[in-house]
Amino acid sequence: MKKLINAPDDVVTDALAGLAAAHPSLRLDAENKVVIRGDAPRPNKVGLVSGGGSGHEPLHGGFVGYGMLDAACAGEVFTSPVPDQMLAATQAVNGGAGVLHIVKNYTGDILNFQLAAELADDEGIEVVSVVVNDDVAVQDSLYTAGRRGVGATVFVEKIAGALAEEGASLADVAAVAREVNERSRSFGVALTSCTLPAVGKPSFELAESEIELGIGIHGEPGRERTTITTAHNLAGTVMDAIADDMPLSGDVLVMVNGMGGTPLMELYVMFAEVQRYIEGHGARVARNLVGNYITSLDMQGFSVTVTQLTDTLTRLWDAPVDTPGLRWGR
Amino acid sequence: MKKLINAPDDVVTDALAGLAAAHPSLRLDAENKVVIRGDAPRPNKVGLVSGGGSGHEPLHGGFVGYGMLDAACAGEVFTSPVPDQMLAATQAVNGGAGVLHIVKNYTGDILNFQLAAELADDEGIEVVSVVVNDDVAVQDSLYTAGRRGVGATVFVEKIAGALAEEGASLADVAAVAREVNERSRSFGVALTSCTLPAVGKPSFELAESEIELGIGIHGEPGRERTTITTAHNLAGTVMDAIADDMPLSGDVLVMVNGMGGTPLMELYVMFAEVQRYIEGHGARVARNLVGNYITSLDMQGFSVTVTQLTDTLTRLWDAPVDTPGLRWGR
């Protein structure tokens, strides 16, 4: 295994220290592995907390800042954070208007965020949780009852964060977060496996020309293994899976996301194909993101997330944001 | 070979189409493979043109936009663009105040940009060229007489672009570009090789635990091959090479750049170590970039670029920029 780390046990701590050092507007609770906005808690602003296993950077710590998350808790690589971390994050961002937990649908994350919400409630902090479950690939999965939460998490964090920044109530911020999730679908493809620092060898094996359709962000099995084909055909397969589940129409927000080891050049090739598919099916790509936003360590591959926009969602998407991973308009 | 492409011969064309589709503020001259700011030419603004072989995305096309480049020409993968492309880019951005060519020090790039400048001169367009040669690893290299041009190119494009946006003269924009290059040093490390789409197999081989110190962005040989070690030790090796060539002092701008296949998490681990080294050697990391900015296809590895700042350079670095690859303050 060749990785830019000091030791497998230190990688999360060291990476968080680097993130905080590179972005002085963030504050790090190193003991609890929580990344916090420097100006948190903001009085009367709903606090947004997310988190999950590490190895998906920039998600979630890279999305802490103005217009997005107030705090993110980092678990070990591909491992849920514990309730104490989530509680510490919740306390740190509670400005009196309540706290929204944005939870990807993995069993450990669900259970631990639920416990953290109960502990926060005991302290008089109102918490509402929203579960993200946008992955159409499989119904249940290795670590998940129901659909997995993947790329839509980025959109939920951005759009709910923008509404919270405007001073909306906890109920309204939670409602828009749920709306984004309900209007979003994702599907991922792996070209290669990924290697966890603590394991030192690939999590699974793919043959020379083999790819996995419907891969999870932890390498959970997808729908099937098949042979690599053209970007055009891959876009067709991915978009058929998404459009079968949510017919395409109107304006959509699209992310072509890299899994961590795929060059940006290839993601742009995929974006051109995805856009062509969508516009050939009667919808319009009104907004987009192309790059590494929710990754799986060094995995090569990509995922596509499509969200049906409304005027309000578009306005909130366009609102200023200032985080390490997304930054514009401010 | 598993890549997200349609065909090796189409990858540059398809990726440029995707870039332009994702960023409607850019305009694509598809025939010449030139990415242009939508509002170019801007009257009385110095035009900034760069370019080079593809495979280093987001460099250069991803740095076209407000506050940075006016146009970028894309060669085939790891191959210099031809003079006609550079001339087309120069014509497209000439607003009457002259055009700056920012040229990485590779023999093909130098010769072709020189010819393009002569052709532009024949048409009455004033062109000044600035050569970037910041890589301290080796004196001459596979495609280069003198030092290679690498990460400092990003800083030159950003800072010269900011000065051009203020309405400075061609001479002044060229002077600040040269100043940034002179105050910058870089060094890269490869953990793995990279695979060109047209070749289909890795350009070189590194063994299971082997890394190459001083790698070039096309996989050109560096100083030596050695065994993978800790992030702390790697930072020491890289920073010793840089500091030996340019003693560290005052405020510096630092980039920890991924080669394309390295997870962001590992780049943050490296940043923490690089910052510790610099601050332990009497300088201060006043500004930084951590991420994939000048890549080598799917290569795993990183490079560090250090620039000695002045108040003026810091101000120009902080100025608004709005490109696919760098975006803030606007």
The pLDDT of residue A66 is 98
Q: Which two tokens stand for residue B48?
A: 């900034």
* CB-count exposure of residue A202 (10 Å: 0-12, 13-18, 19+): middle
pLDDT band of B43, cuts 50, 70, 90: very high
Question: What mean pLDDT do residues B64-72 have?
Answer: 98
**Which of B15, B271, B322 is facing A265, going by the closest CB pair?**
B15
The pLDDT of residue A176 is 98
A327 contacts B327? CB cut-off 8 A:
yes
Question: What mean pLDDT do residues B228-252 have?
Answer: 98
Interface check for B115 against chain A (CB to CB < 8 A): the answer is: no
In the CATH scheme, what is the homologous superfamily, with its name and number, of domain B9-183? Dihydroxyacetone kinase; domain 1 (3.40.50.10440)
Residue of A nearest to B19 (CA): A268
How many whole angstroms separate alpha carbon B233 and alpha carbon B304?
Answer: 14
**Which of B230, B261, B302 is facing A6, going by the closest CB pair?**
B230
Comparing B268 with B329, the larger pLDDT belongs to B268
**Which of A232, A266, A275 is facing B21, going by the closest CB pair?**
A275
Q: Which two tokens stand for residue B199?
A: 């070749």
pLDDT band of B142, cuts 50, 70, 90: confident
Average pLDDT, chain A: 97
Question: Over 90: is that where the pLDDT of A141 sits?
Answer: no
B261 contacts A5? CB cut-off 8 A:
no
- What are the extents of the domains in chain A? 9-183, 184-321
Question: Over 80: is that where the pLDDT of B300 sits?
Answer: yes
**Cβ contact B110:B144 at 8 Å:** no
Question: Over 90: is that where the pLDDT of A323 sits?
Answer: yes
Question: Over 90: is that where the pLDDT of A322 sits?
Answer: yes
A21 contacts B271? CB cut-off 8 A:
yes
CA-based nearest distance A143→chain B, Å: 23
Q: What is the DSSP string of A102-138?
A: EEES-HHHHHHHHHHHHHHHHTT--EEEEEE--B-S-
- Kind and range of the H or E element at B256? strand B250-258
How many whole angstroms separate alpha carbon B277 and alpha carbon B298?
Answer: 28
Helix/strand/coil (H, E, C) string of A25-75? CEEEECCCCEEEECCCCCCCCCEEEEEEEECCCCCCHHHECECCECEEEEE
The rounded percent of chain B whose pLDDT value lies above 70 is 100
Question: What mean pLDDT do residues B303-310 have?
Answer: 98
B290 contacts A7? CB cut-off 8 A:
no
The pLDDT of residue A142 is 87
Interface check for A6 against chain B (CB to CB < 8 A): the answer is: yes
Residue A322's DSSP bridge partners are: A66, A327
ipTM: 0.98
Residue of A nearest to B192 (CA): A2
Question: What mean pLDDT do residues B166-183 have?
Answer: 98
Average pLDDT, chain B: 97
The pLDDT of residue B272 is 98
Comparing B301 with B143, the larger pLDDT belongs to B301
Task: Quote the crossing angle between the two packed helices B264-280 and B231-245, to the nearest 10°.
Answer: 50
A234 contacts B262? CB cut-off 8 A:
no
Contact residues, chain B, for A262 at CB < 8 Å: 4, 261, 298
The pLDDT of residue A19 is 98
Comparing A140 with A181, the larger pLDDT belongs to A181
Interface check for A191 against chain B (CB to CB < 8 A): the answer is: yes
pTM for this predicted structure? 0.98
Question: What mean pLDDT do residues A96-102 have?
Answer: 98
The pLDDT of residue B220 is 94
Interface check for A51 against chain B (CB to CB < 8 A): the answer is: no
Query: pLDDT tens across A2-51, in order?
Result: 999 999 999 999 999 999 999 999 999 999 999 999 999 999 999 999 99
Contact residues, chain B, for A209 at CB < 8 Å: 2
Question: Over 90: is that where the pLDDT of A219 sits?
Answer: yes
The pLDDT of residue A330 is 74
Give catalytic residues of A, as residue numbers: 56, 218
The pLDDT of residue B85 is 98
Give catalytic residues of B, as residue numbers: 56, 218
Contact residues, chain B, for A17 at CB < 8 Å: 268, 272
A267 contacts B302? CB cut-off 8 A:
no
How many whole angstroms separate alpha carbon A41 and alpha carbon A58?
Answer: 22
Alpha carbon separation from A175 to A164, A178, A184, B102 (Å, rounded): 11, 5, 14, 49
Question: Over 90: is that where the pLDDT of B141 sits?
Answer: no
Interface check for B198 against chain A (CB to CB < 8 A): the answer is: no
B265 contacts A297? CB cut-off 8 A:
yes
In the CATH scheme, what is the homologous superfamily, with its name and number, of domain B184-321? Dihydroxyacetone kinase; domain 2 (3.30.1180.20)
Question: Over 90: is that where the pLDDT of A178 sits?
Answer: yes
The pLDDT of residue B330 is 74
Question: Over 80: is that where the pLDDT of B239 sits?
Answer: yes
Interface check for B288 against chain A (CB to CB < 8 A): the answer is: yes
Question: Over 80: is that where the pLDDT of B135 sits?
Answer: yes
Query: pLDDT tens across B254-284, in order?
Result: 999 999 999 999 999 999 999 999 999 999 9
Question: What mean pLDDT do residues A138-163 have?
Answer: 95
A58 contacts B264? CB cut-off 8 A:
yes
Q: Which two tokens stand for residue A95?
A: 């400005």
B298 contacts A300? CB cut-off 8 A:
yes
Interface check for A229 against chain B (CB to CB < 8 A): the answer is: no
